[in-house]
Amino acid sequence: MSEREICMRRPDLCDPMAVAREEAWREAVGTVDMAELLRKMAGEPTPPPVPEPPPPAPPVPPEFAPGWGALIRIKGLLLSSYWRLVNTPYASLNDVVVVKNPQEVYVLRRDRKADRWLEPPDALYLAGRVERQYCIYGFVLQRSIELIAQMFRSGRYALVLGCDPRAIVKPPRRYELAQIWRYEGYVVNASPARLAVIRLDGAAKPKIAIKYFSKGCPVYSLWANQLLQLIGVPIQLTC
């Protein structure tokens, strides 16, 4: 009978440490964690498992209120208009995009008169005035896009924009302005949109944001999309 068999039958005749090593070896048979086996044989404690890194936080989606598909009514002097809040990354013809900040974006689509509708929520109201310093030539220049983006990042401005086929730039009579129109104005007419930059002012009377749209300036839709991209808004105009 070998020494191993004797130790297995009569553990009291053998070295206790040898018996412990033998039992650890028998428990580890069939496993592939050799490092764990060696730690058990040496009597070392098992280290705690390494925690997995937490998954990255998902991006904060824009907030829309009162909810997708909600139909709201906007009162006019003579007639009322009806608009629906839509969840879409593209704003088409007659849509209006209201950007209060990159996390608070509203896309409104014109809808027919309905029996059931909601009053506009407070989030669709803006208090301020339309800034016209970038619109001195009758339309928004391409080089003004970066300036408008900087103004918006300051937190004191909001944007209202959308496709508008009526935003046509007429050629000016003055020679100096005609040269500017020659290089940029005709491009605006190729795919016209409208942009209103609102300088926020808490002392002003709040108005529904859509009413600022008509007071905006013509802009080439591609430049308007560049502006949305610069300020981090995942919506594009399809004019």
CA 220 to each of CA 51, 76, 148, 177, 188: distance values in angstroms, whole numbers, following the listed order? 52, 28, 14, 17, 4
> How much is the pLDDT for 175?
80
Cα separation, 139 vs 167, in Å, equals 9
Q: Using alpha carbons, select from 147, 100, 140 the residue that is nearest to residue 122.
A: 100
Residue burial 39-49, b: 16+ Cβ < 10 Å; e: rest: ebeeeeeeeee
Bond preceding residue 66 cis, omega within 30 of 0: yes
Q: Using alpha carbons, select from 220, 100, 91, 204 the residue that is nearest to residue 152.
A: 100
Q: What is the pLDDT of residues 162-215, one digit of tens each?
A: 999 999 888 888 887 787 888 888 889 999 999 999 999 988 899 999 999 999
Q: Parallel, antiparallel, or unpaired for β 192-200 and 217-220?
A: antiparallel
Quote the percentage of the chain above a pLDDT of 90.
41
Cα separation, 26 vs 79, in Å, equals 88
Alpha helix positions (H), 13-94: 16-28, 34-42
Quote the percentage of the chain above a pLDDT of 70.
71
Inter-residue contact 153 to 145 (CB < 8 Å): no
| Dihedral sign (CA 188, 189, 193, 196) | positive
